[in-house]
Structure formats: C-alpha cells, structure tokens
Amino acid sequence: MVSLPLGDRLKKWFTEVSEVNQFDAVMHLAPTYSEEEILKVLPEYADLVRGLWVCKSSLLFNDGLQSLVQVVLWLHIGLFKSSNNVYCSYSMQAIIRDLRQLAAKYASNRKDASKLQALANAAKSCASLPHEELEEMLKTISVPVHGVYIAKQTERNTLRNILIYLFRKKEPNATLTKQEILDAAAVHLKREVSEKEYHQVWNTITMIYGYYASLCH
C-alpha cells in the first residue's frame, strides 16, 4: 500500500480496511508526508466527526443509502463511545431507541436546519428498517456478540478483539477462563500479556458487555 499515491492509499484504507480512524492511524499510512500534506488530501475521502475521521459514505454505498449509513456511523461515534472513551455495547432494541432519540434531537435543532433535518429524517428511516437490514449496516462498525453490538476498534491484533472473538465462539452463559484468554493471546499476538493489560482489558470488556461480567476467569 505504501507504493500507492497518497490519495489512492487513503481511499483503499478507508474503503477496504477501516472506515473510522484516529488521525494517528492515518499518519502511519503516510510516514513520509507531513500533517499538513495529509490534511490537504484527507477531506476528499473522510469527514472529521468528533475527533475521528469517518469514510465518506459516497465511497462505500450508492446514493440511496448514503444518508442512512452516515447516521449509523454517527451512532457509532456518538452512542457507541461513552464520555470516558470506553466503547459501549448496545442491543438492537437500544440502538433503535437511540436512533429515534437522535432523530428527535436533530429535528428540534434549528441551527443548520436543512442538514440536521436531513439527518433527522435519515435516523427516523434507519430506525424503521427491518432488523435484518439494520443489522447488516451495523456490522460495518460493530461486532454482534450474542444479541448485543460492540463497537469495532481500528487496531486488529489486540487483546480486546481476542476476548470478543472468544466470547463469540462460546455459547450464551458459557464460561471463559483466564487460561483460554492467555493461550489465545499467545497464538494471535505472539507475546505474553501482562497482568495489568489483562485486567484492564477484561474489566473493560465485562463492563461494556455486562452479560458476561460474572464469568469465571
């Protein structure tokens, strides 16, 4: 990918690898470019939303779905992420509820009325989609785990993602042990996990996915 021109590199990354990124992650794609040079090109492929760069929906979907997808991406950034930067989990019912609340919030805001009204209409339409269609859209930004959706991370090889992978393999109410986690980390991360890292990630996952909070580990 490094051999590609900067624009092609950014487009390929946002459309094929990760649709939501921190600026630091984008910088790693172009180590020979300055921040100023990247920022001149980046807005052609992504929008800055609450500190994160989000792939332009026009690059991902046809015109008929653009507004709906944009709302789901806003949902990921605004609702899947809490105020202390912990990624939260939501059930389908909670997501539909929050989309309706989002629609009401935008509809009542008179600042930049035309844009916010369009977002309000899109959020309302999104909340009314059949569950199967909404689920397909949510899968672009989240991971379904036994009835709830947990926001995806930009980084792929992390202990957090290993825990999510292991939870998904288990049956509901099954037990996940600490040894299983450490063994999987050794295979996929190819390194030992410190006690501090283990407990930090475990506490985060069990907090955002309370269904498993009482599991043995």
Two tokens, residue 90:
């939501």
Q: How far, in Å, are 59, 79, 148 from residue 151 at the CA level?
A: 21, 10, 10
pLDDT digits (tens, 9 = 90+) for 137-160: 778 777 888 888 887 766 778 888
Q: Cα(61)–Cα(19) distance, rounded to whole angstroms?
A: 12
Two tokens, residue 27:
């910088």
Helices (H), 44-112: 57-60, 63-78, 92-108
Name the DSSP letter for residue 148. Answer: E
pLDDT at position 71 is 59
What's the predicted TM-score (pTM) here?
A: 0.57
Report the pLDDT averaged over residues 80-106: 72
pLDDT digits (tens, 9 = 90+) for 172-216: 777 888 899 999 999 999 888 899 998 888 877 765 555 444 343
Q: Cα(71)–Cα(65) distance, rounded to whole angstroms?
A: 10
Q: Cα(73)–Cα(78) distance, rounded to whole angstroms?
A: 9
pLDDT at position 41 is 93
Other CB atoms within 10 A of residue 59 CB = 14
More confident residue, 143 or 58: 143
Helices (H), 109-194: 113-127, 131-138, 159-169, 178-188
165 has pLDDT over 50: yes
Amino acid at 71: V
Two tokens, residue 137:
């859209």
How far out from the chain centre does Cα 161 lie?
Answer: 12
Helix, strand or coil for residue 161? helix
The secondary structure of 6-36, three-state, reads: HHHHHHHHHHHHCCEECHHHHHHHCCCCCHH
**Best mean pLDDT range from 26-35, 52-61, 118-127, 128-137:** 26-35
pLDDT at position 216 is 38
pLDDT at position 184 is 92
pLDDT digits (tens, 9 = 90+) for 69-89: 555 556 555 555 554 445 556
